[in-house]
A and B are shown apart, each in its own frame.
Chain A
């Protein structure tokens, strides 16, 4: 009987040991033979072996030319709730309202009302600072100590609240160069300026990766490279000083806005671009309060305006290069000239008599320059202007550049009279950067360099320098040098407020009436000044634009002194000795 019992047990065990492997074998064959089942298992399998992680690379830094950090990253937190763990959503909503100032009802709805939708985790707030998180953790600890053991329905509890750290943007210089940098919004996307233009490069490529739970396969975990960092051509010290200069000028002249551009004409590098208003980039949500609908984020590149007499530099350069006039050519100014059926007058409605080209530029004679344009001829005049890049965006590496407006013969809205008015910068619109770039060709011996703000890209362990590009050679070196000297003499002869002690500079003032739907304004102007130096070896070009100055409408009175003050600060910051010292040092 006992033997029989043993036999039964052995038989059962044997069958079991046979059946289980047999079933496994059958299942293996089934899986092998059924392609759909195999496919399903191939999908399901890794889900148990691995977990999905969205890796967002650290956004690249933005630094000035000397390595000062302009845009970096800091730890911010995502505050979320694990719905299964939430005991009292009212407490969570009340705490977030008190500590973070969030909307009670919205938080309450998120923290309590979505369990039915099968959600496990809900994000309540993002980009919360470390200080706020410390406060929240303190409240959480206090509440745990006070009510931790109280399991009664409705007892205060922050159970389920989670804090997940990640990187968010920070701008250590706050408002400095804000119009150039742009900002990163709540959606981690760059808006305006460099942040928008280089968004893809800075942000890197967020990647969903499968991280193996098996420690033996840790080497298989992919790494995601960080976003590239950018080294700018910008000089932080120069930018700060130029912002101070233009801010002071706006207050002093009662202007509605001001823009000050500093470029190196030899290579197109933008050393500073100060404009108003400026936003504290760490509080980018103030954007809509600070910028009204018509105010562009960066006037230097986004606002085209009629520049007025600074445009005469381009007209005179075209005429000299074309051979239409020579510096010694004499024009007898009778105080009026008719071009295309429209009579053009000088700024003071006066007649200046015989004037050579130096006199025409020095006294900024509209009549003379309109005559000069007619001597060039419409086709050649506009060909030159197009070669100077007027009417086209410069391609500067910042988002939001405007292209300006240049009407040319053949356009439906071009009239013969435009030849005369365009000659002195009315009826044509350009941004300060376009004007600066075009006139930098005169400073740089005829060669017009592409303006740019990014000097190098640091990516995956290497620094890649960005190629400097020549946009064109709109006039010959001889023409450019002749005009530079002519404009330097012009400033010296009139004892301009733009003159800088120790440095020979060339330049031109501009005062433009402002077009409105009802014609040009008579009492409001755009006052400008463009200048560069030292004339024999140009290292800087400074463009000043004051919008609607109240103290005086004239560029020579309000904008020229701003140029002088800017250059006086600039030469110290860029270590540029006065001309005689420089020549002496070079001679050694």
Chain B
């Protein structure tokens, strides 16, 4: 019996060793979880930072949009026909008379073209029908439209 006990004792681990193993496994899991969490946190933080930067830039775009519109309008005011005329008069420009104009053929010169603000679309917009809506809409729709326009205009617009 003593011998058996001795044998069991020999092959069984000491309690401290068992605890150490459990702690080791726990720490391993903990380190693994921490590692994964760290990576996740790092990626999320970077993503959030980038997202926040995008939000800031979107806000900047909005502010710049307002600024661009302001500047365009300011430029248009400076270049308005009245301002240009006043400046031309101040600079002693003279109005050209018809009989003072000399017309020449300049090889390679192309006639001034209408403004192109964006790539020309292949699609040509077919305008609204020649017939105004009064000729095509029902009486009810016409009355509704007229009443709507009249009411809107009277209520919200004509006021000093």
Contacts and interface: CB of A to CB of B under 8 A. Distances in A.
Contact of B156 (A185, A216, A397): A185
Interface of A: 58, 61, 63, 65-69, 72-75, 130, 165-167, 170, 172-174, 176, 185-187, 189, 191, 214-219, 221, 229, 231, 236-237, 240, 285-289, 393-395, 397, 401, 403, 450, 452, 455-458, 461-467, 469, 471, 501-502, 568, 571-572, 575, 577-578, 581-582, 585, 588
B115 A65 contact: yes
B130 A236 contact: no
Nearest to B107: A588
Contact of A73 (B47, B69, B111, B121): B69
A240 B134 CA distance: 33
B103 A236 contact: no
Nearest to A452: B127
Interface size class of B (residues with CB under 8 A): 35 or more
Max chain A CB contacts within 10 Å: which of B117, B123, B126, B134? Answer: B117
Given A172-B73, A216-B44, A462-B120, A455 B157 contact: no
Interface string B22-64: 0000000000000000000000100111111011001000000
Contacts of A69: 72-73, 75-76
Interface stretch (B1-9, B12-20, B77-85): B77-85
Contact of A463 (B80, B117, B130, B134): B117
B117 A240 contact: no
B48 to A, nearest CB: 5
Contacts of B96: 572
A63 B115 contact: yes
Max chain A CB contacts within 10 Å: which of B66, B85, B112? Answer: B66
Contact of B80 (A173, A289, A582): A173
B84 to A, nearest CB: 9
Nearest to A74: B73
Contacts of A288: 158-160
Given A75-B69, A462-B118, A502-B98, 14 more contacts: A63-B117, A65-B114, A72-B72, A73-B73, A74-B73, A75-B66, A176-B81, A186-B156, A186-B157, A218-B51, A286-B160, A397-B128, A461-B119, A462-B120
B48 A231 contact: no
A397 B132 contact: no
Contact of A401 (B103, B115, B118, B132): B132
B48 A215 contact: yes
A98 B4 CA distance: 105
Given A240-B81, A285-B159, A467 B115 contact: no
B51 A215 contact: yes
A72 B66 contact: no
B69 A191 contact: no
B108 interface: no
Contact of B130 (A74, A395, A457): A395
20 contacts: A58-B65, A58-B69, A66-B112, A68-B76, A68-B81, A72-B76, A172-B79, A218-B54, A240-B82, A393-B134, A395-B128, A461-B119, A463-B119, A463-B120, A464-B124, A464-B125, A465-B125, A469-B127, A575-B111, A581-B103
Contacts of A467: 124-127
Contact of B117 (A67, A186, A393, A501): A67
B153 interface: yes
Contacts of B117: 63, 67, 229, 231, 456, 458, 463
Contacts of A469: 127, 130
A578 B99 CA distance: 10
A4 to B, nearest CB: 23
